[in-house]
């Protein structure tokens, strides 16, 4: 006997492929954003599914799931009047798939940060910050900042489903929530002046703070990891690994630290002027004992030590290699062989002054809590 649910399912309209809409939605939501736009042209039923605001929300939730390797990238070339490109891994190569026209009517835009597919951009000539979705080309201008921020970053509040921008000036932190008309709000005074740019992970922004040598010894870490929970808007401290230094040694090594995200984990990069780079992974967030030194990278060119003050791991590639930012350029590192190679980007003419970000495109509008797609042409053309 046919039940009511069976009858309802039988009466649902099917697409041109004969697949029920809810199944089609699940399939389309798992596609990279470039192919989602192409699928809008397949048939009217697919176009209707993709144009519905609920699809954007489903696609966003799927796209933001952590992955071990990155296959899509956003590249900003400052040598070419700050052009933006979309690139993908193709047969082991990083290939430019098209130029992204952001729609912002100003030249000389610099890419300050990215979070969940949205870009934080700064217009050098107009002194204006923007939040932009490079896929839909939709953007908003955020309220003016009174003081030039010492660092600025963007993150996503999981409970509120809101994007927030935070800028630091001295010991003051200011926060702005996208989609509201409240403007900048002042948070509690920060207990320390933060020296590094922010890193977004697990619903919080993170900063590094170097400890004074008077409060450290050879068995304690030289740095603090400060955090700002974007749900509660409260500052805290994430335990750091025990990385020591021998202060009594007359030829002590100069140390550098960077914080980032690699393979879905919070990662601390620790390196010295001895051409040795350690990658520490926090396997369980906010658990001190979970810090593990996963990789030790020893460069084969000690004479290149001068660039060790600007080394940042970007992401894993599908073949297990790690893309590493080195000064103004990018390298790939093979953990098995220990070899470095220059990151080749097929279709990019100029490798000077580029910024490479892992990129997961979506249909989010900067002004809304949840995604809504406005009918427009795809901005990721091949």
Closest among 137, 141, 285, 271 to 206, alpha carbons compared = 285
**Tens of pLDDT, residues 306-328:** 455 567 888 998 888 999 887 66
**Tens of pLDDT, residues 358-374:** 888 887 777 654 433 33
| Of residues 238 and 307, more confidently modeled | 238
How far are the Cα atoms of 244, 258, 290, 365 from residue 221, in angstroms, in the given order? Answer: 5, 14, 15, 41
**Structural domain boundaries of the chain?**
14-63, 72-358
pLDDT of residue 377: 41
Closest among 162, 146, 106 to 130, alpha carbons compared = 106
Q: Bridge-partner residues for 165, per DSSP? A: 154, 176
Q: Is the pLDDT of residue 192 over 80?
A: no
* pTM of the model as a whole: 0.81
pLDDT-derived band at 252, boundaries 50, 70, 90: very low
Closest among 91, 93, 99, 92 to 75, alpha carbons compared = 99
| Range name among 109-113, 220-224, 277-281, 322-326 with the lowest pLDDT average | 220-224
Q: Three-class SS of residue 200?
A: strand
**Tens of pLDDT, residues 27-83:** 888 887 778 878 878 888 888 888 777 888 888 877 777 677 788 898 888 766 678
Q: What is the DSSP letter of 29?
A: T
pLDDT of residue 273: 63
d(CA 278, CA 294): 8
pLDDT of residue 52: 78
pLDDT of residue 266: 95
Instruction: Check if the beta carbon of residue 105 is closer than 8 Å to that of residue 141.
Output: no
The b-or-e profile of 6-35 (16+ CB within 10 A means b, else e) is eeeeeeeeebeeeeebeebbeebbebebbe
Closest among 254, 248, 247, 243 to 220, alpha carbons compared = 243
Q: Of the CATH numbers 2.120.10.30, 2.40.50.140, 3.30.365.10, 3.40.50.2300, which one belongs to the domain with range 72-358?
A: 2.120.10.30
């Amino acid at each position: 006997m046919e039940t009511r649910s069976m009858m309802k399912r039988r009466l649902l309209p099917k697409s041109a492929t004969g697949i029920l809409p809810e199944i089609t939605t699940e399939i389309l939501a798992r596609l990279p954003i470039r192919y989602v736009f192409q699928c809008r042209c397949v048939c009217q039923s697919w176009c209707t599914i993709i144009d519905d605001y609920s699809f954007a929300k489903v696609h966003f939730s799927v796209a933001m799931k952590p992955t071990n390797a990155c296959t899509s990238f956003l590249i900003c070339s400052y040598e070419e009047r700050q052009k933006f490109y979309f690139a993908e891994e193709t047969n082991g190569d990083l290939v430019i798939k098209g130029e992204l026209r952001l729609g912002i009517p100003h030249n000389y835009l610099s890419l300050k940060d990215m979070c969940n597919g949205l870009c934080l951009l700064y217009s050098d000539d107009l002194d204006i910050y923007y939040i932009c979705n490079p896929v839909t080309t939709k953007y908003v201008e955020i309220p003016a900042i009174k003081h030039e921020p010492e660092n600025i970053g963007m993150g996503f509040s999981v409970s509120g489903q809101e994007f927030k921008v935070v800028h630091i000036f001295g010991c003051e932190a200011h926060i702005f929530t996208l989609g509201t008309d409240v403007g900048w709000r002042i948070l509690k005074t920060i207990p320390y002046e933060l020296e590094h740019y922010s890193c977004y992970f697990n619903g919080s922004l993170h900063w590094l703070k170097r400890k004074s040598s008077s409060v450290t010894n050879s068995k304690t870490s030289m740095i603090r990891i400060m955090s700002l929970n974007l749900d509660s808007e409260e500052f805290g401290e994430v335990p750091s690994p025990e990385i020591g230094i021998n202060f009594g040694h007359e030829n002590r090594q100069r140390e550098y630290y960077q914080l980032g995200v690699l393979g879905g984990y919070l990662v601390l990069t620790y390196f010295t002027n001895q051409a040795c780079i350690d990658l520490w992974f926090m396997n369980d967030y906010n658990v001190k004992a979970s810090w593990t030194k996963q990789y030790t990278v020893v460069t084969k060119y000690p004479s290149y030590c001068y660039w060790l003050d600007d080394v940042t791991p970007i992401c894993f590639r599908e073949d297990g290699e790690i893309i590493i930012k080195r000064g103004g350029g990018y390298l790939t590192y093979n953990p098995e062989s220990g070899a470095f190679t220059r990151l080749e980007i097929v279709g990019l003419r100029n490798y000077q002054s580029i910024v490479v970000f892992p990129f997961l495109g979506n249909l989010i509008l900067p002004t809304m809590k949840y995604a809504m797609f406005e009918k427009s042409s795809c901005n990721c053309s091949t």
